[in-house]
Chains A and B, each alone.
Chain A
Amino acid sequence: MTYRSDWHRVSPLAIIHHGLTFLRQLVGSNPGPLLGLIAGTVAFARESPLMIATTALTLVLLGVGMAVMGWLRFLYRVHDGAIQVQQGVFTRHKLTLAFERIQNVRLERPIYLRPFGLARLTIESAGSASEEVHLPGIPLGEAEGLRDRALAETNAPLEPEAEASGAGSPGTHELLRRDPSDLVIYGISSPAILWGGAIAASLMGAVTRNLGDDRSREAEQAMNTLLETMPGWLPEFLVLPLAILLLLVLMSLASMTMALLRYQGYQLFREGERYRVTSGLLTRREQGIRHQRIQHLHLAQSFVARLFRRHHLSCHPIGPSLPDQPDGGGGALMAPSLTPDEQAQIIETLYPGLDWGDLRFHPVNARFMLPRFAFWGLLATITVAWVTVGDVPAWVLALFLPVPPLIVLNWHRQGWCLHGERLILRGGLIGCHYTVFDAYRVQTLKLFQNPLQRRAGLANLGIRLGSGGFRLPFIPWGTGTRLMDHLLWQVETSRAPWL
């Protein structure tokens, strides 16, 4: 495909994208002023409906105006082996991203662009988030051409294994396909559910605590109304657990729906030396990444996923890793809800020769538990004092009972394994997660110890890759220095392309 070396404007439909981005930024970065504005508007609305209508119209016109200006000022071109973008309504930004620096490409087809044969292309470099290029509303053919060029172009030689497997050849091999049943399991076992449940439980707890307070008569009235609507045969002490259960079920349903929307029709392909994922119900996403760009692999199994014997796998390219996000954040390439066989197959593809069943993990020192016991012990002591002198019920102390076994479990989960040129780190609490990477991908190493660790001859090893940082805690000092020397030797003697 040939590219004209002049500036292009994206489709006018990108105004929707600019409008949505403007709204997201307004809500995300300035929630305080926005809430104040809404509160002021509501107060004025009682006095003067005309004023509120005028304000609303002004705001809408302002938003549309900003979106149109954003579209008019957004120009892009392919020039001299790079994508160049000019954008910004008040401040002009110009960004040049060379094809050889591109790490990750995402092609999305939102529902409002699909009927017009348009797509949204996101291109990420090894730099910061400000170096991302978003091209909203460009013709699908052009987006695919740019994607192919970005994924094909590199300044590094191909890896032998990639050449052997036919890198650059048009052969496409399907590695994985997800059915709705797999996605339902992914939705149920997403860790976000547990966090949501914990937040819901704490909120419900706060409501019930406030019931006896004179200041919260409204909360009591609300709870009484709720109790009156309950069937007569339901004992009162069951209301709270049932409410939490109901919330968890609702959140599970929401999570399953999100998983189906996000990963419906999921397919993972290997095309020579690159991987491509297509998925999404409303917005069709296509994400591509070159094998050499993958910095580390994350394999996670939550408590619920453990019941289904499933693992969720993500491959991380260079860029900040955001583990709190369901898809690992930004450029991570997800393979959700893998059965043991599928997991073995994908790992064999990504890291040939890594026999998962044969891995023997080294434990970390049992002193790993000491700071945790100290923290929770202090908290328990404060609570005991509070129960003794205050009006806190004694049953609150029972909440500390699961803490010691959980700390021991957390210690048991920690481990590491050096398998040839690969390092595998293990962690987790009730669930378990693994991080796998080639030693030559290491960017920075840090060996550190506190005074108590020094007395015990222990240290922590911090490892930073381009895709995030990891910590190997409470290992013997000698092991730490030897591991550090070994990893440095691997990095400094390796000629493999890593960026």
Chain B
Amino acid sequence: MQTFFSNDSLLPQQLPSIEEARWQHLAPDYARMVLLSGLAFWLPAGGAGLALSALGVIPLNAMLVAAAWLVLLIPTLLSHPAARVKCYAIREQDVLFHEGLFWKSTTVIPRNRIQHIQTENGPLERWFGLVTLKCYGAGGQQADLVIPGLEEALGQKLRQYLLNQADDTDNAESTGGDDDVPQ
């Protein structure tokens, strides 16, 4: 008689490790979008600051304003490499997200703990054809895991997959962005 039961011992070192996850980078446009949105604010802001300083409207030396502007511009300039470092991994049982240029972090949410999934895209994301995927657990007010910068089709595909409807590919066009996960 054939038996469909196994109960092999599992040693700690045999557990699947997060360090062996197959990481996927975000869409290349995402880093450009982040940099563009930062510059779209700081370039006019710096120009306006310098102009107001030169006209004497604000009582600060133009050199001082330029120095402050350059300091404030650093995080914006760093946002490009920071966006390129971000990556995600989808495993059979969980979703992982890695980020951070200096302060690094890896977040994991098990699939059987996802209560709610949301996809959203703002005007700039729509311009670049990107989407942000948000996974919510129970009891929290904010999303537990956020994957930005996914190509729109891929984002919707991932949402469908995480909703446990991956086999239902015919419904892939039903791209409403907000769903509860059946438990």
Contact = CB atoms under 8 A, between A and B. Distances in A.
Interface of A: 126, 128, 295, 318-320, 442-451, 454, 464-468, 481-482, 484-486, 488-489, 491-492, 499
A484 B18 contact: yes
Contact of B100 (A444, A448, A467): A448
Contacts of B17: 481, 485
B59 interface: no
Contacts of B44: none
Contacts of A464: 137, 140, 144
Nearest to A494: B112
A448 B107 CA distance: 8
B139 A318 contact: yes
Interface residues of B, number: 31
A484 to B, nearest CB: 6
A444 B143 CA distance: 10
A319 B139 CA distance: 5
A19 B93 CA distance: 50
Contact of A451 (B102, B115, B141): B102
Contacts of B8: none
Given A128-B141, A492-B94, A454 B104 contact: yes
12 contacts: A442-B113, A444-B108, A445-B108, A447-B18, A450-B102, A451-B102, A451-B103, A464-B144, A466-B138, A482-B12, A488-B108, A492-B94
Given A442-B113, A485-B18, A465 B139 contact: yes
Interface in B101-146: 102-113, 115, 137-141, 144-145
Given A126-B139, A450-B103, A464-B140, A444 B15 contact: no
A249 B95 CA distance: 53
Given A443-B113, A448-B106, A489 B15 contact: yes
B144 A444 contact: yes
B173 interface: no
Contacts of B176: none
A455 to B, nearest CB: 11
Contacts of A450: 102-103
A1 to B, nearest CB: 28
Nearest to B144: A444
A88 B145 CA distance: 34
Contact of A444 (B16, B102, B103, B145): B145
